[in-house]
A = this chain, B = another copy of it.
Amino acid sequence: MAMGRPREFDTDTALDRAMEVFWQKGYEGASLAELTKAMGINPPSLYAAFGNKEALFRKAFDKYAAEKEAFFDELYRQPTARAVAEFYLRGAVTYLTDPKRPKGCLAINNTMACGDSADRIRQELLAKRAIGEARMRERLERAKREGDLPETADAAALTRYLSTVLQGMAVQALGGATREDLTQVAELAMKAWPST
């Protein structure tokens, strides 16, 4: 059987370009014209390789999530709740202001207000966020059992607080806040953390 004509572009670098467009413009604000231009391909190549706009976004997001996998593995290996919280916020500052990448967070950008065409994507991202928050809550509950969080601490509330600060920093980064600005915010935010 024949192999067919080989692809002339690299799907992974094309996907990376698409990811950055979605990151900067949002799912709704990223037009096919802009995507194909950034990816260096024509629409039929995009559709053959990725399906459609929604599928392209999902693959781009999977790539985005995969790039953060190592971070989360290391995050949850931190010895204490305080270390986890600090690692989380410091890491967030780093990622949100990476000079090689668009500012802010692809996931957070696409869970905001949007039209009907983007709402399915939005719901999917919210579901994934809920999974991530559950993981953090479990880690903090473990910390309570291990004694490095007081019995009175509310793991769910602390998790929501960390999420809130992360998301707020993502908004700030989009507004032009620098890495130094957000470092100050993260340090300040840690002052609310319960002492052992």
Which of B30, B115, B167 is A168 in contact with, Cβ under 8 Å?
A: B167
Are A104 and B113 closer than 8 Å at their CB atoms? yes
Is residue A14 contacting chain B, with contact meaning CB distance below 8 A? no
* Complex CA distance for A116 and B30, rounded to whole angstroms: 9
As for how many copies of this chain the complex holds, the number is 2
Are B114 and A29 closer than 8 Å at their CB atoms? yes
* Nearest-CB residue, chain B, relative to A118: B29
Is residue A192 contacting chain B, with contact meaning CB distance below 8 A? yes
- Please report whether the interface of chain A is mostly helix, strand, loop or mixed according to DSSP: helix
Q: Which residues of B contact A167 (CB under 8 A)?
A: 167-168, 171-172
Give the Cβ gap from A172 to chain B, nearest Cβ, in Å: 5
Query: How many chain A residues touch the partner (CB < 8 A)?
Result: 49
Mark A residues whose CB is within 8 Å of B. Answer: 23-26, 28-31, 104, 108-118, 126, 129, 154, 157-158, 160-161, 163-172, 174-177, 181, 184-185, 188-192
Q: Which residues of B contact A181 (CB under 8 A)?
A: 157, 160
Give the Cβ gap from A141 to chain B, nearest Cβ, in Å: 16
Give the Cβ gap from A73 to chain B, nearest Cβ, in Å: 24
* Complex CA distance for A20 and B70, rounded to whole angstroms: 41
